[in-house]
Amino acid sequence: MKYMIMMFGGVGEALENRSPEWIGGMHRLLVDLDSELRESGELVGSQKLTAPAAAKTVRFVDHESVATDGPFAELKESLAGYWIVDASEERALEIASKVVQYIEFPMEVRQIMDEPSAM
């Protein structure tokens, strides 16, 4: 099974009270975990995302699609990055738990739906 493990954060808010040592430790944890998943063959893909301030949001306004600067203004946290792994649900939860144990922010783990077979 494939799972998407999503890391959320408020970027500035999430890091403003953290020491440089803590931030360095978080960076090492994420790099080491990424290497571990690559070496084990579990990693399907992973990406970091730019800061939410660089995001664009498309909304349906007055019967039209309108793109605006900025992320989802209503949210305190936004998607910061993700891993897609080919592993059991138990393993995907274990991977997320390693990060959550350090960063103390929640992560979301969702199974990727299988594509219907071609007829």
Tens of pLDDT, residue by residue over 12-56, are 566 778 899 998 999 999 999 999 999 999 999 998 888 777 788
Q: What's the pLDDT tens digit per position in 68-107?
A: 876 555 556 678 889 999 999 999 999 999 999 998 888 9
Give the separation between CA 95 and CA 83, rounded to whole angstroms: 10
Tokens at 87, concatenated: 């592993």
Domain boundaries, the chain: 2-51+77-111
Domain 2-51+77-111 indexed as CATH 3.30.70.1060? yes
Q: Kindly report the three-state secondary structure assignment for every residue of the chain.
A: CEEEEEEEECCHHHHCCCCHHHHHHHHHHHHHHHHHHHHHCCEEEEEECCCHHHCEEEEEECCEEEEEECCCCCCCCEEEEEEEEECCHHHHHHHHHHHHHHHCCCEEEEECCCCCCCC
Q: Are 57 and 71 within 8 A, CB to CB?
A: yes
pTM score: 0.79
**Cα(first)–Cα(last) distance of the chain, in Å?**
22
